[in-house]
Structure 1
Amino acid sequence: MAEQELFNVRSKFVEKASKELINQLLDDILGDRIVNVGEKDSIIEENQSKADRARCLIDTVRNKGNDASRKLIAHIQIRDPALYSTLGLSSGQPAPPETPVEQKWSETVIKTTEEFWIEKQKDKDVYPAAKSSIRNRVALLITNIKFTDKKWNRSGAETDEKNMEKLLTCLGYEVVKHTNLTGKAIDDSIIKFSKLPKLKETDSVAVVIMSHGKQDVVIGVNHTETSSDEFPINNIYTHLGSKECPALLDKPKIIIIQACRGGEEGSVLVIDSANSALDCDDVNQPGSFLFAGGENIEDDALRLAHKEKDFISLLSCTPDTVSYRHTCSGSLVIQFVVKVFNTFACENDIEELFRKVLQSFEAFPLQMPTKDRCTLLKRFYFFPGI
């Protein structure tokens, strides 16, 4: 199929297509009504570099279907016959049906090329990532596995902890790891993390918290049916925000939380057992909504900055719903995060990586992760291996 043919030549097209050709092709697909004026302008305005514009062009057309892809191939043949030949494209006529290509996931993190890193360092819409700052990356990993009340123990969470530590390390982060913390200890560990001298040298931080949860809180290991032990998620944004942690000003802060966010539709805590391979991280308690509210901004510095900026968060489910964990292979979200990051972190920014994680759940309608509180002003790339 034509869209598969475009996918197969995508990397080479991005490398070799000139800016003039890309603009001509945008005019062509506008004339064919493959895209409208708004979509064309969006491709141009949101992608300043030639490479990003080429990627967006080819992906947009591929997503429009086989007919649109055939028309683009035909336009490439007319506009640049030499490139058409180099890419090895067909005439754009309907091809025999092909067997869909199943996504092949990488078992290890694919490294970024030096050329890709150099190109992105020239892009003003990309967060800077000097080699020295990449080597000073640091991440916080908190995993609650065993609870005071043993019926709350999270089987499979050991696998999540192992897989996330490996992934973060491969992405260049020194991992500060904690296991089985109370709500207060989670709070204290984030405060301590925010004071690390290394934060002054890093280009970014990652914070991963995995436990039981409910709306707006993560559950500590001493939580019982009669005694609450909670950590308000909002504290992450306070402790690592511009006011409390100036060392991270203008630096991306990536938050991943694997925990349920409630269970209003009758969801209850599912106790791990030999009869159930899937478990959930829901704590069905009366609503306890914790927000940081009404704080007055006090800032006598010469420069003002919003108290919460340069964050992006991935929560394992939508509000009031549960998230699932396999009792052997770990949480579904963490499994997909590892697969997606291993395969695509070499060339995708963090928002696209999170989108791919969400897309992975199309075949699993019981759960849908969500991006939350995104205040990134630019694109952030991990550049693994640089």
Structure 2
Amino acid sequence: MGSPIEGTPIDGKAESKNDTTDALPGGMTRNHSNAARVARMPTDRYASEYNMRHNKRGMAIVFNHEHFDIPTLKSRTGTNVDCENLRHTLETLQFDVVVHKDLRLTDIHQKIENLANADHSEHDCLLISILSHGELGYIYAKDTHYKLENIWSFFTAPRCPTLAGKPKLFFIQACQGDRLDGGITLSRTETDSSDSQSMAYKIPIHADFLIAYSTIPGYYSWRNTTKGSWFMQCLCQELEQNGKKYDILTLLTFVCQRVAIDFESNTPDNPIMHQQKQIPCITTMLTRLLRFHEK
């Protein structure tokens, strides 16, 4: 039997025997389990798009945080506008939407564990959105902070096999630090012109995730107290206008465009925070195009 870092047979043909890993010193790895795990194939092997023809679109869970037990965290005025806009938008895309307000971390974990243990066999996908305060690497529940990995790791293929091979989408409205983006002005110059196969196959357990953050690591995320956060405003606008027209990465590209171009902070009484910009950050492990076709 070959070593764990050698190529393994695919379609009956061995891949290169020279495959290796960036392993820990001494050849150790953090995951020593090689047990065979099998889940139902929801999409043909080389399909270009995810199968969105199940009986239901899927669950959409929104964790909305306005008030906190932590004295240093201010109430997030405007988040309820985000929450209601997002609920309406996701319902138009035929998601079954459930909103949880101001939960403590133990309650969040319980909701997530129950969701991961549910049967998603007849669902196209899963969507989870978190609206809260945050800092680099952490998001806040009502009573403490946690890493996003503590949420999405419940939905890896071995832990939630009925979502294996299906899209798992996370939309995060939260700061990722306290840095500011002053932006740069672009001006036109004189030189500018005006003008399938159905055979069984193995996938990584972390495949088919997409995580969209409202801002890049290290930076503030802006929220208007009456209209809601910049990111959620743009996300809802794009999903409502083009959610059944474009694939999700195209949609999120236009969300980034809207946030980047259409918004600038307006705090003239605080010059340091005035006229600042923001750009969302998309992390994708999707393996196919995702479109919310009409059911």
Q: TM-score, normalised by structure 2?
A: 0.69
Identify which of structures 1 and 2 has the higher relative contact order when contacts are C-alpha pairs closer than 8 Å and 6+ apart: 2
Cα shift at 1:362: 2.8
Is 1:251 matched up with 2:166? yes
Q: Distance in 1 between matches of 2:90 and 2:70?
A: 30
Q: Distance in 2 between matches of 1:173 and 1:306?
A: 26
Q: Report how many aligned residue pairs link the two structures.
A: 219
Amino acid at match of 2:49: V
The equivalent residue for 2:150 is: 235
The equivalent residue for 1:370 is: 281
Task: State which structure, 1 or 2, has the greater radius of gyration over its C-alpha atoms.
Answer: 1
The equivalent residue for 1:152 is: 74
Q: Give aligned-pair identity as a percent.
A: 25
Cα shift at 1:136: 4.8
The equivalent residue for 1:127 is: 50
Q: How does 1:183-198 map to 2 (within 5 A)?
A: 183-197=105-119
Q: Distance in 2 between matches of 1:345 and 1:129?
A: 13
Relative distance call for 1:169 and 1:134 in structure 2 (3 A) is farther
Are the equivalent residues in 2 in contact too, given 1:142–1:177 (CA < 8 A)?
A: yes
Cα shift at 1:200: 1.6
**SS, match of residue 167 in structure 1:** helix
Q: Distance in 1 between matches of 2:99 and 2:111?
A: 10
Q: Distance in 2 between matches of 1:134 and 1:331?
A: 33
**SS, match of residue 200 in structure 1:** coil
**SS, match of residue 203 in structure 1:** strand
The equivalent residue for 2:60 is: 139
Are the equivalent residues in 2 in contact too, given 1:148–1:221 (CA < 8 A)?
A: yes
**What is the CA deviation profile of residues 127-160 of structure 1, one whole-angstrom value per residue up to 9, with x for unaligned ones?**
1121xx2525211111001122576111001111
Q: Compare the two structures and name the one with the higher helix fraction.
A: 1
Cα shift at 1:214: 0.9
Alignment RMSD (CA, Å): 2.2
Are the equivalent residues in 1 in contact too, given 2:179–2:220 (CA < 8 A)?
A: no
The equivalent residue for 1:342 is: 240
Q: Distance in 2 between matches of 1:349 and 1:376?
A: 11
**SS, match of residue 211 in structure 2:** strand
Q: Compare the two structures and name the one with the higher strand fraction.
A: 2
Structure 1 gap segments, 5+ residues each: 1-120, 223-228, 266-301
Q: How does 1:1-386 map to 2 (within 5 A)?
A: 124-130=47-53, 133-149=54-70, 152-197=74-119, 199-222=120-143, 229-264=144-179, 304-363=202-261, 364=263, 366-372=277-283, 374-383=284-293, 385-386=294-295
Amino acid at match of 2:47: K
